Amino acid sequence: MKQAEFAKFYDQHVSRVYRFLFFRVNQNVEVAEDLTSEVFMKALKNFESFDPKRSESAWIMTIARNHLINYYRDRKETIDVDEVAFGLAGEDGRAAVVAIDDQAQVRRALAKINAKDRQLIELKYLQGYPYKEIAEIVGKSPGAVRVEAHRAMKKLKQVLDKIYVEPEATTEEAAS
Amino acid sequence: MSNLKRQLKKLQASSAPTDEFRGTLRAQLLAEHANLYPQARGFAWSRAFAVPVALCVVVMTMGTGTYAYASPAVTDGDVLYPVKQGIEEVEAQFYRSPEAAARFEARMLERRLAEAEYLAERREDIREQLNLVAEQLDLSLDRVEQLQENEELRTQIISRLENQTGRYQDLVIEYLEEATESEEATTGDLIEAVQDAREQIQESDLTRAEKAYLYYRVRPEILERFQELK
């Protein structure tokens, strides 16, 4: 396996893996970087046995998901990697961190929609996968993915509109 | 919806890994690669390109290969379609720059459209081919978005894409108007989103232009992407 082949694989997937992890560790940059490094080390050690007929995207995302589950398990936490996505820093049941800016509102809205819709939006609009690769990751046809992603965006917009119109009480308190 | 996509783009940009992290990790991984696989370090450019170039030459000089590559009659399901796909995949390896990649994807869109129009003329089922056209349109739009510095080429390709999208709309409307009830019962996910519009189209006295607009309403993401690109 040539170095250049792995380098190309890394270049194509590093940002996506990083973002996947970043949004599931409360946007902690240090943790996301550590986990990303570990994921690619695992991928490097197993690259020789990777079947080129398989989807590279699906393969590396599976490694990332499993590694994330192991990370939380080592911290004595059992999590659902899709449910924990986009949780805002500090929102752990103890004290909610109030976020006023638009990006935090989008993250809040993403956390409120169902996991399947959230996954499609994340894969398409945050990680930038084309529909064909998303279809390989989720195991559906590209046509189905396109339709479902569009519907997911409509639902996200409805949730986001509601957040802007009805800010949470904690937001109002912080603003006053 | 455009505003939401812009917000998601900002979120995407703000959640990117730093260049420093990416570069450092890359160097670490390649150093580790050298430790793990000490024999497999070289990258011979001549070897990398010799095989695909040879394949192209061999296939293209064969009459079958040339026909498969060029003809819209060779579509998904045809025995020669794998040959066509293989040649296109090899060809794609040569187009690295954003400009070359954008031109290549626009050319591939033209091919998928020509195949769909060929099938439609023969009154064959174009549902799967429409799916391929939509995917290729998506790829083309992705490539055009990356043409930040070449305004002239961007304008040229967008103009071509607008024409191609119009042809795609025509094919979808034609398909919707001619699909029978039994086809509708087994229709795949592709036209699930436009079935509501189909009922309205069938029951209405809309002009062709109004029907096209209605089609855009149920596939707004394509229209929005054009609006964002302009």
Give SS3 for B58. helix
Closest approach of B125 to chain A, Cα-based (Å): 16
Give per-residue pLDDT as tens, B115-165.
989 888 888 878 778 777 877 877 777 777 777 778 788 878 877 877 787
Higher local confidence (pLDDT), B89 or B63: B89
Return the pLDDT at B67. 61
Average pLDDT value for residue range B166-176: 74
Does B221 sit within 8 Å of A130, measured CB to CB?
A: no
Q: Is B37 on the interface with A (CB under 8 A)?
A: yes
**Mean pLDDT to the nearest integer, B42-66:** 51
The pLDDT of residue B59: 52
End-to-end alpha-carbon separation of chain A, Å?
60
pLDDT at B221 over 80: no
Token code pair at residue A132: 């064909």
% residues pLDDT > 70 (chain A): 83
For A54, phi then psi, to 5°, come to -80, 165
Residues of B in contact with A31 (CB under 8 A): none
pLDDT digits (tens, 9 = 90+) for A118-140: 999 999 889 888 887 888 889 88
pLDDT of A87: 66
* pLDDT band with cut points at 50, 70 and 90 for residue B91: confident
pLDDT of residue A96: 39
Reported pTM: 0.54
Q: For position A165, what pLDDT does the model report? A: 66
Angle at CA B219, nearest 5°, toward B215 and B224? 115
Average pLDDT, chain A: 81
| Least CB–CB distance from B25: residue in A37, A132, A153 | A37
Mutate to test the interface with A, among B33, B133, B225, B228 (most CBs of A within 10 A): B33
- Average pLDDT value for residue range A84-102: 51
A34: pLDDT confidence band, cut at 50, 70 and 90? very high
Q: Identity (one letter) of the amino acid at A15?
A: S
For an interface test with B, the pick among A9, A13, A14, A124 (most B C-beta atoms closer than 10 Å) comes out as A14
| B227 Cβ contact partners less than 8 Å away, ≥ 6 residues apart | B2
Q: Do B32 and A11 touch (CB under 8 A)?
A: no
